Amino acid sequence: MDRSEKLKEIVKEKYGKIAKQDKATNASSCCGATATSSKVYNIMMDDYSSVEGYQPNADLGLGCGLPTQFAQIQEGDTVIDLGSGAGNDCFVARHEVGDKGKVIGIDFTPAMIKKARENTEKLGFNNIEFRQGDIDDMPVSNDVADVVISNCVLNLVSGKQKVIDEIFRVLKPAGHFSISDIVLVGNLPGKLLADAEMYAGCVAGATQKQDYLGFIKSAGFEDVQIQKEKVISLPEDILEKYLDRAEIDAFKNSKTGIFSVTVFARKPGQQRVKPKIKLSELQNVDCSPNSGCC
């Protein structure tokens, strides 16, 4: 088994356990994978509590942004969420697409798929489905999605270019994505990079920021832009598990930065033109001969 396959199995096993942890445990660690920190809460995640469509039972505290906030989702859209977990971002997206749209969540962890489906059944939604599969080989046909979203997931995949190529494939012409992820500026200490737990914790699997943007452009996307960026600081009580005092000081004094970024990009093609007036609204318009509307 090569390193990428070994890491995939480690992540799958780890996230099977994370699916059964509570939000507080996950949010006070690195994506639920590392030891919890006593010095900080919500190391990476953003607050969803005021977001329309938010379902607390689906929030495991695993994200590093709010991609749905920037995704420009419209009513009737088909949205794909990569690494959908318990369904948190899918339910927010479902609020935006309405009854006429569709949301597809993809996750490779059976426990997450089970939890997401249970949440969907409890809510009675019939336009959300969860498919088990790898995001670097999506169980989705070409040109399906208007929008692709993802929240702190691509950093768990070793072949990031392949995932981004897959996003390009499943998007309709002129479709777009908004993805929150962890990126680096500078190099992490070798002991962090070598630890599989830190890989599952979203940090050791992160790529350099410029490389990340380069993968997106290489796939053929245009209008690439960073919608939001924030610094991620690892607390000392987490670093102490991997580094000694001198190594921690050297890391903190280095120019290495860990960032959560939300990136937008569009697939080339003719952009859709949405009608300014909904058909349902036309029923209330007076188009009699003397109304002046024609």
What's the confidence (pLDDT) of residue 276?
Answer: 43
Q: How far apart are CA 258 and CA 256, in angstroms?
A: 7
Q: How far apart are CA 93 and CA 74, in angstroms?
A: 9
- H or E stretch at 217: helix 209-218
Cβ atoms 71, 146 nearer than 8 A: no
Cβ atoms 231, 182 nearer than 8 A: no
What's the confidence (pLDDT) of residue 239?
Answer: 82
Domains of the chain, earliest start first? 3-269 (3.40.50.150)
What's the confidence (pLDDT) of residue 26?
Answer: 46
Q: How far apart are CA 12 and CA 18, in angstroms?
A: 10
Strand positions, DSSP E, the chain = 78-82, 102-107, 128-132, 145-151, 171-185, 207-208, 222-231, 257-266
What's the confidence (pLDDT) of residue 131?
Answer: 97
What's the confidence (pLDDT) of residue 19?
Answer: 63
What's the confidence (pLDDT) of residue 17?
Answer: 64
Closest CA to 183 of 95, 276, 256: 256
What's the confidence (pLDDT) of residue 15?
Answer: 65
What's the confidence (pLDDT) of residue 57?
Answer: 83
**Angle between helices 110-123 and 3-18 in degrees, nearest 10:** 40
What's the confidence (pLDDT) of residue 281?
Answer: 40
Q: What is the largest CA-CA distance in the chain?
A: 84
- Tens-of-pLDDT digits for all 294 residues of the chain? 555 666 666 666 666 666 666 555 545 445 444 454 444 444 566 778 788 998 888 877 778 889 999 999 999 999 999 999 889 999 999 999 999 999 999 998 888 899 999 999 999 999 999 999 999 999 999 999 999 999 988 888 888 999 999 999 999 999 999 999 989 898 888 877 766 555 455 666 788 999 999 999 999 999 999 999 998 888 788 788 888 999 889 988 888 888 999 999 999 998 765 544 343 443 444 444 444 444
